[in-house]
Amino acid sequence: MRKKIVAGNWKMNNDLAETEMFLVELKKQVFPENVVLMLAPPFTNLNHAFKSLREHNVEIAAQNMHQSNDGAFTGEISAKMLKSVGAKTVIVGHSERRAIFNEDNAVLAEKVNTALENEMTIIFCIGEELEDRKKENHFKLVKTQLEEGLFHVSNDSWESIIIAYEPVWAIGTGETASPEQAQEMHKFIRKTIAENYSKAIAEKVSILYGGSVKPDNAAEIFGQDDVDGGLIGGASLQVDSFMKIVNSF
């Protein structure tokens, strides 16, 4: 059985006091046993969140990392540093990193390697822009993102990989892919993994959907055969909406 996962990506939101307020509220909740919960606060709050949630079955993820293990990279954070503060998982290739910080498939492939070397779990994000979809180029683009960013990894590495399909036109826009559009792409991603690796590996990998998931649309999206959960931005900033989504399976 594939893991069901809901991961909250806070992006550049919540300072230490706001994080603490969220955590106090979160710890009052009852977490479903069949869902893995993850939270990706900003770097500055990773350790605080890790210590606070240690007893609560919520994993801590980082939103990004540098591809080098150390060195003269002012302002950057390494995998080793992330692990030392409790983040075992890292988001790689979020569309905002790709678009705003010019991270291309080649650099993302390096980040994947470094994360794996450091025994981290990766949430690898892929997804097309609206223009790609209008031109019906979305399957090809997603396939290229997989081939160039991820498909160099070994069979064993798939134990540490989660995919997040996030159509860029649906992120933070209030516009969601329909459940059918999400299912169609998730099925395609799984088929592509099966063709490049094996059916057994493809059947085991969790593929999350991201893009304006809210309490009122989560159940329908999560109900699709190949959707194993969500990467949640805006709606993960409030405990109430985050928990409603977590409880949508």
Which of 24, 172, 195, 238 is in the footprint of ligand PEP by CB under 6 A? 172
CB of 71 to ligand PEP, least distance (A): 29
What is the contact mask toward ligand PEP in residues 1 to 30, using x (rule: CB under 6 A)? --------x-x-------------------
Interacting residues with ligand PEP between 116 and 155 (CB under 6 A): none
Contact status: 213 vs ligand PEP (CB under 6 A):
yes
Given the rule CB under 6 A, which of 80-88, 147-155, 218-226, 233-241 is the region that contacts ligand PEP?
233-241
Identify the active-site residue in 66, 94, 138, 186. Answer: 94
CB of 221: closest distance to ligand PEP in angstroms? 11
Record the tokens describing residue 247, joined without a space.
């409880």
Rounded to the nearest whole angstrom, what is the least distance from the CB of residue 239 to ligand PEP in the complex?
16
Strands (E), the chain: 4-9, 35-40, 58-62, 89-92, 121-126, 161-165, 207-209, 229-232
- Whether residue 62 contacts residue 31, with contact meaning beta carbons closer than 8 Å, is answered with no
Nearer of residues 128 and 201 to ligand PEP, judged by Cβ: 128
CA-to-CA distance for 111 and 231, rounded, in angstroms? 19
Closest CA to 164 of 100, 131, 213, 223: 213
Cα gap 193→89, rounded to integer Å: 21
Contact stretch for ligand PEP (CB under 6 A) within 22-30, 82-90, 116-124, 210-218? 210-218
Q: How far apart are CA 199 and CA 234, in angstroms?
A: 34
Residue 234 in contact with ligand PEP, rule: CB under 6 A = yes
Q: Which letter does DSSP use for residue 142 in this model?
A: H
Of 96, 138, 166, 186, the active-site residue reads 166
Residue 171 engages ligand PEP in binding (rule: CB under 6 A): yes
The residue sitting closest to ligand PEP, measured at its beta carbon, is 233
| 94 annotated active-site | yes
Contact 3, 205 (CB under 8 A): no
- The full DSSP string for 212-238 is S--TTTHHHHHTSTT--EEEESGGGSS
Catalytic residues: 94, 166
Interface residues with ligand PEP (CB under 6 A) are: 9, 11, 166, 171-172, 210-213, 231-235
